Amino acid sequence: MRQTRFHAPTLKEDPKDAEVVSHRYLMRGGYIRKVAAGIYDLLPLATRVVRRIEGIIREELNRAGAQEVYLPAVQPAELWQESGRWAFYGPELLRFKDRKGAEFCLGPTHEEVIVDLVRRDVRSWRALPLNLYQIQIKFRDEIRPRAGLMRGREFIMKDAYSFDVSEAAALESYDLMYRAYERIFRRCGLDFRAVEADTGAIGGSRSHEFQVLATSGEDAIVSCDACAYAANVEQAELRRSEQPSEPDAQRPSDESTARVHTPGARTIDEVSALLKRPASSFIKTLIIEADGKLHAVLVRGDHALNDIKLKKLLGATEVHLADEARVQAATGAPVGFAGPVGRLDVASMLADHAVSGMVNAVVGANESDHHLVGVSEGRDFKVQGFHDLRLAADGDACPRCDGTLRSFSGIEVGHVFYLGTKYSQAMKCTFLDEAGEDRPMVMGCYGIGVTRIMAAAIEQNHDENGIVWPPGLAPFAVHVLPLQMNVPEVVEAAEQLYVALTEAGIDVLLDDRDERAGSKFKDADLLGIPWRIAIGARGIKDGNVELKPRRGGDAELVPLDQAVSMIQARLRAALSPA
RNA sequence: CGGGGUGUAGCGCAGCCUGGUAGCGCGCCAGUUUUGGGUACUGGUGGUCGGAGGUUCAAAUCCUCUCACCCCGACCA
């Protein structure tokens, strides 16, 4: 491709609304342009990267026995009503009517459509297992799209669905996909971790997320430093500690309760500073509204509530902190002074394991500007039960071994779910088994965020000058820079090299623009093509060109006539399976 | 939805407080110059100042409403 003919409008300055690295470089490099919040054009460069990601996904999924299809973007409401998700899904499901007034939605995911497809024509156990996938634009009307391609409303996703005769067979399909995912992300050149995860709105009972490790990641994950355990913090189990917490071990456990004045101090940090007691000696009393009912939930002051665990425990569909008015009504005090001692107008009071046996703790007094000290669990208040309710944190004990959990932030680029019969039962997707009995198929579903991989790869592979593409994803393999367009020998050598590389089947971008060397170098760094061949007036006099990897490393002078074979060798080495 | 912020040329910004000719840098076009890390200079193109209403002799500037976008919290590939 000749750059004079190639639409890659680069920007010298950072666009103002781009904060994260991938967004900045994708905009500056002329890969993407914004159309609306969370909706982007993919220009030729980004399209090429997407094609490469898709290619890797196709190869690996086909190898694993999955078959590609295209499913509709616009889906009828009836299917969603049948699965029950028309009511369950929130406003991120974009709904609209056609001219006849029939209701539709833009597909945020395709379980309904695929189940409808499979139930129509698959009737026998002989046709199973079946695994169908598609790569398509999805739309989710996200509450807050952000960070460019990392969280758009419209995004390209690969979604696969497996259908099996039994749970055992379905778990085999699951493992097959899990292994395919490992191969896919490895070939994408990503540093990733598969972690145990919550199943969220899709539903199901077993699930792993594939997280790309990056400081800009939105997801918090923990991983054991001793064993293979890794999980999203939302999901991470916590080992119930053997001995009760000792918030203030120096003091006698029979300290009596006292009321202290804590004017204006609402947060644990504020009260902690005021009373000069560590956050771990506090019991945080959260007033939670779950499906309209209020509950008091106690966690230790230095811990955070895991609302997903709470949601599961309560069997609630919607859980959030109660608003100011309801807190006032339930505790008789403004937000920030709730406590477990005395009258609390709530349906139940639950606590995290770590609260069990706490002595001499600090709690809210259910009275404006006051807290209680010297409060002991069991003596001064009782809860309905202790449960695993808090978020895992760095330094917690691993639930599987004696190791310690370490926290990382990650970007979720893939997710595999074991679904069971949730959808097949609701939508009557059944088959006749060998005994002639009608049974629901056992399903799994498997997503990969294609455009998100592009962003995540940049988050993980860049420097201060631009993108450094992993070789598997690069839009071109080689960038040829003739440095002086007015020196015929230079132009001639570049053209010759361009033709030779192209004929060798290598994707090459030739910077034939009439620009100064400096501009070409800057743009080349920004675009991030793995190999750069600079052709200058000095070197070409001796028949040499300069070969340089974008990812660090020194430039080397190589004879023009050997450049193609050297590049071929380098590319082979870079793309061969590690 | 709650909190914070921004809309002025393709991009990045100043001007607004204190109303009176719409500016700067980059890019783009023409030319001279330069030629291995965004060369220097000359000339030029380009703007209903997000939109609507109002106040005023006069509005980018003051007032009201509205839309869009960004950032921080509750959702997800």
On the question of pLDDT at A205 being above 70, the answer is: no
On the question of pLDDT at A247 being above 70, the answer is: no
Q: SS3 of A550, please?
A: coil
On the question of pLDDT at A388 being above 80, the answer is: no
For the record, the structure tokens of A502 come out as: 């192209």
CA–CA separation, A305 and A284 (whole Å) = 9
CA–CA separation, A466 and A528 (whole Å) = 6
Beta-carbon neighbour count of residue A492 at 10 Å? 13
CA–CA separation, A312 and A503 (whole Å) = 59
Are β-strands A103-106 and A430-432 bridged in parallel, bridged antiparallel, or unpaired? unpaired
List the nucleotides on chain B closer than 7 A to a protein CB.
1-2, 11-13, 25-27, 34-39, 68-77
Q: Are A351 and A285 in contact (CB under 8 A)?
A: no
Q: Are A190 and A212 in contact (CB under 8 A)?
A: yes
CA–CA separation, A353 and A389 (whole Å) = 8
pLDDT 10s digits, A277-290: 777 777 888 777 77
On the question of pLDDT at A455 being above 60, the answer is: yes
What would the mean pLDDT of A110-122 be, rounded to a whole number? Answer: 91
Task: Name the CATH topology of A476-575.
Answer: Rossmann fold (3.40.50)
Determine the distance between A42 (CA) and B8 (C1') in angstroms. Answer: 28
Per the prediction, chain A carries an average pLDDT of 84
pLDDT 10s digits, A457-491: 999 999 989 999 999 999 999 999 999 998 999 99
Task: Tell which residue, A570, A525, A523, has the closest CA to residue A547.
Answer: A570
Paired residues of A260 in beta bridges = A371
The single-letter DSSP state of residue A292 is T
On the question of pLDDT at A294 being above 80, the answer is: no
Q: Are A508 and A478 in contact (CB under 8 A)?
A: yes
What's the confidence (pLDDT) of residue A150? Answer: 86
CA–CA separation, A297 and A308 (whole Å) = 13
**CA A389, A390, A391, A395 torsion-angle sign:** negative
Q: Are A89 and A202 in contact (CB under 8 A)?
A: no
Instruction: Say whether domain A247-387 belongs to CATH 3.40.50.970.
Output: no
Give me the residue label for tokens 């009275």.
Answer: A367
Task: Tell which residue, A345, A347, A308, A311, has the closest CA to residue A326.
Answer: A345
Cβ of residue A521 lies below 7 Å from strand B: yes
What's the confidence (pLDDT) of residue A577? Answer: 60
CA–CA separation, A507 and A511 (whole Å) = 13
What's the confidence (pLDDT) of residue A243? Answer: 47
Range ranked top by mean pLDDT from A207-221, A292-306, A333-347: A207-221
Beta-carbon neighbour count of residue A232 at 10 Å? 22
On the question of pLDDT at A242 being above 60, the answer is: no
Residue A108 phi/psi, 5-degree rounding, is: -90, -15
Cβ of residue A208 lies below 7 Å from strand B: no
**Amino acid code (one letter) for A559:** P
Task: Tell which residue, A27, A104, A49, has the closest CA to residue A475.
Answer: A49
Q: Percentage of chain A surpassing pLDDT 90?
A: 40
Beta-carbon neighbour count of residue A40 at 10 Å? 23
CA-to-CA separations, A81 to A301, A359, A384, in angstroms, rounded: 43, 51, 37
Reply yes or no: is the peptide bond before residue A129 cis, omega within 30 of 0: yes
pLDDT 10s digits, A81-95: 888 888 777 778 888
CA–CA separation, A497 and A2 (whole Å) = 13
**CATH tag for A16-237+407-459 (out of 3.30.70.360, 3.30.930.10, 3.40.50.300, 1.20.1250.20):** 3.30.930.10
What's the confidence (pLDDT) of residue A244? Answer: 47
Cβ of residue A275 lies below 7 Å from strand B: no
For the record, the structure tokens of A549 come out as: 């990897």
What's the confidence (pLDDT) of residue A567? Answer: 93
For the record, the structure tokens of A387 come out as: 């449960």
CA–CA separation, A221 and A410 (whole Å) = 7
CA–CA separation, A306 and A311 (whole Å) = 9
Q: Residue length, chain A?
A: 578
Between A473 and A230, the more confident residue is A473
pLDDT band for A204, please (50, 70, 90 cuts). low
pLDDT 10s digits, A121-174: 998 999 899 999 999 999 888 877 878 888 888 899 999 999 999 999 999 999
**Amino acid code (one letter) for A401:** C
Chain A residues 143-172 with Cβ under 7 Å of strand B are 143-147, 151-153, 155, 157
Q: Are A530 and A52 in contact (CB under 8 A)?
A: no
Q: Are A484 and A456 in contact (CB under 8 A)?
A: no
Chain A residues 49-68 with Cβ under 7 Å of strand B are none
CA–CA separation, A567 and A545 (whole Å) = 12
Determine the distance between A318 (CA) and B57 (C1') in angstroms. Answer: 61
Beta-carbon neighbour count of residue A200 at 10 Å? 12
Cβ of residue A30 lies below 7 Å from strand B: no
Q: Kindly list the domain boundaries of chain A, sorted by start residue.
A: 16-237+407-459, 247-387, 476-575
- Nearby residues of A119 by Cβ (< 8 Å), 6 or more positions away: A424, A427, A428, A429, A430
Cβ of residue A518 lies below 7 Å from strand B: yes
pLDDT 10s digits, A389-413: 777 777 777 777 888 878 888 888 9
What would the mean pLDDT of A21-40 be, rounded to a whole number? Answer: 90
Determine the distance between A125 (CA) and B33 (C1') in angstroms. Answer: 79
What's the confidence (pLDDT) of residue A199? Answer: 63
CA–CA separation, A404 and A397 (whole Å) = 5
Taking the C1' atom of B70, which residue's CA lies nearest?
A: A17
Cβ of residue A323 lies below 7 Å from strand B: no
What would the mean pLDDT of A430-454 be, rounded to a whole number? Answer: 93
Cβ of residue A320 lies below 7 Å from strand B: yes
Are β-strands A154-164 and A442-449 bridged in parallel, bridged antiparallel, or unpaired? antiparallel
Are β-strands A405-420 and A361-364 bridged in parallel, bridged antiparallel, or unpaired? unpaired
Give me the residue label for tokens 């899990």.
Answer: A178
The least confident of A14-23, A155-164, A519-528 is A14-23
For the record, the structure tokens of A99 come out as: 């001219």
